[in-house]
Structure 1
Amino acid sequence: MSLFGKVETDVEIKASAEKFHEVFSCRPHHISNVCPEKVQGVALHEGDWGKEGAVVCWDYVLDGKTSVAKAILEAIDMENKSVTYKVIEGDLMEHYKSIKLTIEVSPKDEGSLVHWIIQYEKLNEEIVDPHTLLQLAIDVTKDIDAHLTQA
């Protein structure tokens, strides 16, 4: 059994790829206003919003418990509408040696397709794959979409 893994999913949204990508690349601190029951706060610890190398601290609820993750904004691709965060501290590091989240947004005829990828290395074989984290990403995606598309 490998300690390395990847879970991924696609979420169809009504919002434009540009608007959705901007939230995660440049304005993640607005996410806690959109879905405060899931993401309670997003704070900039180092660098600048929307710039590679920025260190962002996320306060969120996972499996019914308040959690924290400090992550580096590792890569932003404005043209291909992707953003990658690498978790460097926090509750996830109790189970994973490394964990990286990538959000890719592709425009469609109507709306967009959000592709989430979570790559990880578990600390040991007893650790479960991060499916609940992926479900949180799906739920947050839907909340942001509803916010971006409301009249």
Structure 2
Amino acid sequence: MALAGKLETDVEIKASAAKFHQMFTHKPHHISNASSNNIQGCELHERDWGTVGTIIYWNYFHDGKPSVAKEIIEAIDAENNSVTFRVIEGDLMEHYKSFVITIQATPKGEGCTVHWTLEYEKHHGDISDPHTLLQFTVDVSKDIDAHLTAQA
């Protein structure tokens, strides 16, 4: 069984790619307002919102239990509405040696397609792939979309 893996999904939303991207780069602390069932909070630990090297601490609800993650923003591509986070501490590190999340929003018609990529390396072969976390990303995307389009 492979220890390294990659899961991907696309979510079609009505909000613009730029607005969705901005939520994850400059306003992640607002995501708990949009998706309160999934994200309970987001705190800035180091640097400034929207910059590479920023460290963010998330409180979220996944698989029926409260969880935490400390992430560093590894890359931001404003032109392509892409941001990459690397998990450096938290509940996911109990099962994974590494965990990287890339979110890219691509304009499509009136809205956009949000492409999520989860790349990970498991500690051992008995750990399942994070399919429930992939569904979590879909749910959060839909919540953010509803929040952003209600504001329009």
1:34 & 1:11 partners in 2: Cα distance? 16
Structure 1 stretches of 4+ moved >4 Å: none
TM-superposed CA distance for 1:36, in Å, is 1.4
- The residue type paired with residue 121 of structure 2 is E
Asked if 1:16 is matched to 2:16, the reply is yes
2:133 alignment counterpart: 133
Letter in 2 for 1:105: A
Whether 1:75 and 2:75 are equivalent positions in the alignment is yes
* Structure 1: runs of 5 or more not aligned: none
Amino acid across the alignment from 2:64: G
After TM superposition, the structure 1 = structure 2 runs for residues 1-150 of structure 1, keeping only pairs within 5 Å, are 1-150=1-150
Q: Cα deviation per residue 1:29-65 (whole Å; 9 max; x = unaligned)?
A: 0001111121000000011000000000000001010
Looking at structure 2, the residues matched to 105 and 36 of structure 1 have their Cα atoms a distance apart, in angstroms, of 21
Give CA deviations for 1:47-86 in whole Å, capped at 9, x if unaligned: 1000000000000001010000000011000001100000
If the length of structure 2 is used for normalisation, what is the TM-score?
0.98
1: CA distance between counterparts of 2:109 and 2:46?
Answer: 38
Provide structure 2 residue ranges, at least 5 long, that are not aligned to the other structure.
Answer: none
Give me the identity figure in percent: 63
Residue-pair matches, total: 151
